[in-house]
Amino acid sequence: LVLSPSQWSSHIVGKISEWIDLDSEDEQLRLDSELTLKQEIAWATHLSLQACVIPPPKRSTCANYARVVNNILQGLTNMQLWLRIPLEKSESMDEDHDKVNNNNPT
């Protein structure tokens, strides 16, 4: 499929890799995720995409996720970041909540 430049900028939305985990406990995964996110956003900017869909945070604590996304937003001028918000609570968030409450399920 061949698209004109105007079609790339008005009809295509990028999708950022799902494996990215900016708040991982594994430092190497966290650093690789940040680098990959920035590279994928840079590629989408190069393609003049109107927006990119970024994966939601994987944990209930997402301070690093917020820092990285805020940093990226500061540098964007012609592209939007779209965030998918899950409408149901995931098991991983339940596990994080239990850790915070010292495994107290109440």
Give the pLDDT confidence of 58-90 residue by residue, as tens digits.
Answer: 888 899 999 999 999 999 988 999 998 878 876
92 pLDDT band, cuts 50/70/90, is low
Handedness of CA 88, 90, 93, 98 (dihedral sign): positive
By C-alpha distance, which of 52, 91, 86 is closest to 69?
Answer: 52
By C-alpha distance, which of 103, 48, 58 is closest to 83?
Answer: 58
Give the pLDDT confidence of 22-50 residue by residue, as tens digits.
Answer: 999 999 999 999 999 999 999 999 988 99
The whole model's pTM is what? 0.76
HSE-CB for 34 with a 13 A CA cutoff: 18
